Structure 1
């Protein structure tokens, strides 16, 4: 048995866990603190792709596979092109992020990384399949069982997707422009779309995504990807070099209720993912910084994270899409075109003012939104 008690234990070496521990080792306050990372995986493969927008050059540029200055939103009536300036839309592959994080952690003598799957936490005690551990405070990225048991009590959808990294023999793509959403191909009457992220003239990630409550059969994702490539990109001759598939819960479930005296939930389990969009990577960066400052100032680590105002907006959004999933194309068309893309970015980054929020909400001027708004605000 591991008899050592650590100051902090981080369960899950994903974007949330690794960004938190990196913030810690970069701060002198944690120099003498013993930090334990527990994950069932070695984190040495490309198991996911993160995309996000940022203004100007940042620390993530060195890890970005590619970035774009221009984008397009496509529905069944029109193609809307937008200039992201001063933003850029960036792609980071998980293997590059894991490798960079592990290289930095290798020089931190106060960090221990152990491969183990965690079964249970009781107070400061952690029960793994291989050993037992102890920590003064635990940061846990595992989804609480309460979420699975009580999904029907909240507005919940699933963002599920499958993507192909493809390579063509001839130049096909514009590597300076990406397709954020293309609604011309949909699964039944659902909020479903395809996005295209070109990294060169002959290479791109093409992904079919759904925001609904019903997973597809295994082969159906492939059928939609193949149909999209043939019908809308006129592509018949290509090589699939890599495949990625996954799902992200989109819910107004109160994850924050699972924080306790010795445990703080992080990542999806801590409400770090915007339920209305599924974006999480930049949130992990921002919230990790907030947690470090909270700890240094003797506050609860989660204080100020996942603010109620934006969670109310997300609940309204999920309320509408849960009841009328067929409205997704119209809703996202309004969201990404009416207020302006920069206003949307600020809104999704939780940087917008109340007046900007009102502008965004008014752009979604549909009866279902106002019903959901008053139902949420006055309940």
Structure 2
């Protein structure tokens, strides 16, 4: 067998692929190993906003667009202030991350960017077949999600889909020191849907309307709900939309990780790195990448231990509840945020809690539907 073109091929130059490449470039263990990042797009626009929480300072602080120490959860009946300390909630614009990652990686003699679209990977011949060329490697890190997860009848699937407007107002209407995690005062019918507000200044904010539903919706629905929120809730009559962003994140218990092998590791959404019950992925990706490097240096399969069976089960039950009773979303999240400290919530979503703490949190959001969901997911 011929010598591979590259030691590693990273399929996809998005958040997961670039985080992985950055960590590899920082570790002397991998020096001299030639790596290709194959991505069909140039990544020259701000196509996403990533948010995450962490204690104190972090490795991405130089890229953070805005951070908050305070937040709010608002239901149709209650408003709760969230004092995050020692955590901060941080906002990062994708274009700033792309530009930083590409600039840093382009200084490496071991890493090469290739603009191409990989159509399939033949693990027998260790070849990634692109539209333009073929690429051989000893191992592939693949961020392309399989298509069959949408059709699987054995697994739960909730779509986190959203549209956001980055707006500027004439008057000072926002508190730039506090973001809104969820505001349920405007909802779409009997769905789990809410507004998410990230104020940049007193006159600027990213305002997103978000659904956690088993279905998608029309573009006009987002626009109508965003307009209603701005005019009815925030009482803003005059504003300018500077940027728009929209997206869909699969929240599912589909076993993406089972697609990994000795020669191929699924990463990002394709690896199940999106937290199934919340849709957050940025810090989760950082943790997964660190573990992949530890595994490689220890002689283990790169994907070893990337998935927690315990938390997968928790997520599966929660998703099953939302799939069968989507109207319960506001009630469940209201209990979640009002009966637990935000610090405990962050630790639970970070999968850092003990079983006794898990039980306490689960009891706080109890509904008979969870018992049904438990047996439906056996």
Q: Which residue number in structure 1 is paired with residue 118 of structure 2?
A: 118
Q: Is residue 208 of structure 1 aligned with residue 223 of structure 2?
A: no
Contact 2:162 2:211 in 1 (8 A): yes
Distance, in Å, in 2 between the alignment partners of 1:44 and 1:59 is 23
Q: Is residue 130 of structure 1 aligned with residue 119 of structure 2?
A: no
Instruction: Give the C-alpha shift of residue 375 in structure 1.
Output: 4.6
Q: Which residue number in structure 1 is paired with residue 275 of structure 2?
A: 274
Q: Which residue number in structure 1 is paired with residue 319 of structure 2?
A: 318
Distance, in Å, in 1 between the alignment partners of 2:267 and 2:117 is 17
Q: Which residue number in structure 2 is paired with residue 21 of structure 1?
A: 21
Q: Is residue 10 of structure 1 aligned with residue 10 of structure 2?
A: yes
Distance, in Å, in 2 between the alignment partners of 1:134 and 1:4 is 5
Q: Which residue number in structure 2 is paired with residue 234 of structure 1?
A: 235
Matches within 5 A, 1:140-289: 140-150=142-152, 152-289=153-290
Distance, in Å, in 1 between the alignment partners of 2:191 and 2:77 is 17
- Partner of 2:251: helix, strand, or coil? strand
Distance, in Å, in 2 between the alignment partners of 1:81 and 1:355 is 26
Distance, in Å, in 2 between the alignment partners of 1:374 and 1:366 is 14
Instruction: Give the C-alpha shift of residue 303 in structure 1.
Output: 1.0
- Partner of 1:159: helix, strand, or coil? strand
Distance, in Å, in 2 between the alignment partners of 1:104 and 1:352 is 35
Q: Which residue number in structure 2 is paired with residue 62 of structure 1?
A: 62
Contact 2:7 2:35 in 1 (8 A): yes
Distance, in Å, in 2 between the alignment partners of 1:325 and 1:25 is 44
Distance, in Å, in 2 between the alignment partners of 1:251 and 1:82 is 28
For structure 2, the residue ranges without an aligned partner over 5 or more in a row are none
Distance, in Å, in 1 between the alignment partners of 2:87 and 2:230 is 28
Matches within 5 A, 1:289-328: 289-328=290-329
Instruction: Give the C-alpha shift of residue 270 in structure 1.
Output: 0.4
Q: Is residue 49 of structure 1 aligned with residue 64 of structure 2?
A: no
Q: Which residue number in structure 2 is paired with residue 139 of structure 1?
A: 141
Contact 2:169 2:204 in 1 (8 A): yes
Instruction: Give the C-alpha shift of residue 261 in structure 1.
Output: 2.6
Deviations 1:311-337 (CA, angstroms, capped at 9, x unpaired): 000001001000000000011111122
Distance, in Å, in 1 between the alignment partners of 2:342 and 2:170 is 34
Distance, in Å, in 1 between the alignment partners of 2:164 and 2:307 is 29
Instruction: Give the C-alpha shift of residue 355 in structure 1.
Output: 1.4
- What value does the CA root-mean-square deviation take over the aligned residues? 1.3
Contact 2:150 2:157 in 1 (8 A): no
TM-score (norm 2): 0.97
Instruction: Give the C-alpha shift of residue 354 in structure 1.
Output: 1.3
Deviations 1:1-53 (CA, angstroms, capped at 9, x unpaired): xx952111101111111111111110001001111100011112100000111
TM-score (norm 1): 0.97
